[in-house]
Amino acid sequence: VFFFSSRRRHTRCSGVSWARRCVQETVVFPGAVHTRFEHSLGTAHLAQKQARKIFKKQPTLVSGPEEYKQLLQRDITLAGLCHDLGHGPFSHLFDGEVIPVISPGLNWSHEDASLMLLDKLIDDNSI
């Protein structure tokens, strides 16, 4: 459980969808909201939009039935959605400052953790 404060109130938050990535953004842009959850949804949306644009401009890029393009677009969208699964608390600070202290010499990154978590989710859920 994380506690974050703002000028107006103290908020008790739990879960990725409520944890703020950039607390300072509310000072500069008072109406701004940017959680990891929203970031992942936005990335998935932009990945899907870009895939559609590429396939429209380069129709011969993927050969085979239309279903192949649809599956590839789905996979690109899912990649955007899952790209930051492995981030620890406080994002890149965790990668660069916390991990080296608790596990010196470990060659670890949030990208590696994202792959491990996604593999576990796929295995555990027989996907």
Establish whether 10 is a catalytic residue: no
**Measured distance CA(99)–CA(113) in Å, rounded:** 12
- In 3D, which of 77, 7, 86 has the Cα closest to residue 42? 77
Three-state helix/strand/coil letters over 8-55: CCEEEECCCCCCECCCCHHHHCCCCCCEHHHHHHHHHHHHHHHHHHHH
**Measured distance CA(29)–CA(10) in Å, rounded:** 19
* Chain centre distance of CA 41: 8
Catalytic site positions: 110
